Amino acid sequence: MPTISQLPPATPVQAADLVPVSQSGTTAATTVGSLLANVQPAILTPSGSLLGRVSLGAGGPEAISVGFGLELNGDTLNAIGITGLTATGTISASDLVGISQGGADRNISYAAFLDGLTIDLAQPATPVTDTDTFWVAQGTSTMLRQTFAAIWSWIATKLPSYKRPVVEITTDTTLDGTVHNGAMLICSQAVTLSPAFINMGNGFSCDIINLSDGGVTLASGITTSTGSAILLPRQYAVIRGANYTGGSVVYAGISSSAVAVPGQVTGLAANGATSSAITLSWSASTGGGVPASYTVQLRSTGTTNWITANGAVTGTTFTVTGLAASSSYDYQVYGVNAGGSGPASTIVTVSTLAAAGAVSAVTWNVAPTGSYVHASGTVGVNAHVTPASASVQFGFSTSSTVAPPGWTAGSLVNTDLWGAFVPIPTVAGSWYAWCEGSDGSSPTVYPTPFVVT
């Protein structure tokens, strides 16, 4: 009997081909199709595939895919850990986060997930210590932890370089906590500062420096340490706003030692010179502090040492008396207040008249005539005097027999003509012009009165 290898090659096997089988000890023939009818077909799938069946009805196994979050490792099906997921560098509000809710797996959007992390859901903290930590980002969006001790150390390095904000005030201003709290307010104009506690708030604080030439007014509602509502030039004040059991208060602590000295006196002039006196007038100081008084000084022309004629003149005129006749004097005036002495005026040099002799005759040259409005200025008068060297004085009286209550010293105009500008009387009526020697000699009345209305 030939062996299997001695048989001729077969054509492609068909289901109807016969093969021998032993059936109950007897050799019989059966078809290939019948022989393989109950045999598993060959599984022709790549290595590492997962087999199952997704088709309807009975049939052989089919390759199926491994779902998301799973992997086939050898003969074991495993869930993939978080490190096995694809990495992402960004996240959006609509991205999903997996959670377990009531024993069931759920997802929630990233936006909704973060919205649930409010501060009120956190556990109450114990008193703060240096080792407490909180989230910080350093250079990137990556969250890191930082201790309070480290933060305080950083703040300590910044404090020496901290500079308060400076706000210049040029118009009337109402104090506001959002703009002025913690600031230095430089008033470069004479303005008014008003309080509005509702906008300032409890604990409000600012400094005010007056660098203007006038006073800064602290309006009603601000209580001051000096009782004055005026902040003088070069003064400063510290403003505080606070609530207390009595209500609320805006308080200004005003410096008492920063009073600005007066500005320079201007317009110094001399008039009404006699043989022994000179009348000075000047304009009030402007700029700097307000003068409390003026000091008048003089010296003989050509000398260097000043002599104080009066150190407490409160007005802007003063008559220096006790001078030598026919002598030249220099004069200066300066303002004084609690801050000190201001700069002196420009020096004015004036000479006194020659010593007066007795007047023997007065001949009127120009006298007031007509009508004048009371207190409306001055009127010029002059007269020829004998001897020409004898000084005279002029005045107005309501009587031709009673001398004037006050006199204006005359000045030599030329040759023997003496004159003066005499103030128009302040009372209406008929008035007479008088002239006499400075020593009261030869009083002479102009015979025709003039009218003051």
Condensed to tens digits (0 to 9), the pLDDT of residues 184-210 reads 999 999 999 999 999 999 999 999 999
Answer yes or no: are the C-beta atoms of 431 and 437 closer than 8 Å. Answer: no
Residue 276 sits in the same domain as residue 324? yes
State whether 368 and 428 are in the same domain: yes
CA distance 166 to 209: 11
302: left (phi over 0), alpha (psi -120 to 50) or beta: left
Q: Are residues 239 and 307 in the same domain?
A: no
Tokens 């999903």 found at: 96
Residues 247, 291, single domain; the answer is: no
In a domain, 13, yes or no: no
Dihedral (CA of 106, 111, 115, 119) sign? positive
Tell me, yes or no, whether 277 and 344 share the same domain.
Answer: yes
135 in a structural domain = no
Q: The domain that contains 415 carries what CATH number? A: 2.60.40.10
* pLDDT at residue 333, rounded to an integer: 95
Quote the pLDDT of residue 119: 67
In 245-292, the DSSP E strands lie at 247-254, 266-271, 278-283
Q: Is 206 inside any structural domain?
A: yes
Strands 192-194 vs 278-283: parallel, antiparallel or unpaired: unpaired
Domain shared by 271 and 322, yes or no:
yes
Q: What is the residue whose two structure tokens read 């001949």?
A: 363
Residue 258 has a pLDDT of 58
pTM over 0.75, yes/no? no
Dihedral, CA atoms, 279, 283, 289, 294, nearest 10 degrees? Answer: 0
368 and 347 in a single domain? The answer is no
pLDDT at position 356 is 61
Number of domains the chain is built from:
3
Q: Does residue 12 have a cis peptide bond before it, meaning omega lies within 30 degrees of 0?
A: no
Give pLDDT, residue 257: 55
**Residue 202 CB: number of other CB atoms within 10 A?**
11
Which of 303, 331, 351 represents a domain boundary (last residue)?
Answer: 351
Neighbours of 99 (CB within 10 A): 11
Q: Which residues of the chain have pLDDT under 70?
A: 1, 40-43, 48, 68-69, 81-85, 115-122, 256-259, 354-356
Domain boundary among 220, 254, 288: 254
Contact 139, 132 (CB under 8 A): no
Residue 295 within any structural domain of the chain: yes
**Same domain for 367 and 446?**
yes
The Cα–Cα gap between 126 and 213 comes to 57
225 is a domain residue: yes
What is the SS3 assignment for 95? Answer: coil
In a shared domain, residues 240 and 288: no
Q: Which two tokens stand for residue 377?
A: 């200025």
At residue 34, the 3 state secondary structure works out as helix
Q: Are residues 299 and 366 in the same domain?
A: no
Residue 50 in tokens? 């997962």
CATH classification at residue 190:
2.60.120
- Same domain? For 172 and 230 the reply is yes
Residue 94 confidence (pLDDT): 82
Last residue of a domain, one of 226, 254, 282: 254
Tell me if 286 is assigned to some domain.
yes
Q: Kindly state whether residue 176 falls inside one of the protein's structural domains.
A: yes
Q: Do 297 and 339 belong together in one domain?
A: yes
pLDDT at 76: 78
Q: Which domain holds residue 245?
A: 166-254
127: left (phi over 0), alpha (psi -120 to 50) or beta: beta
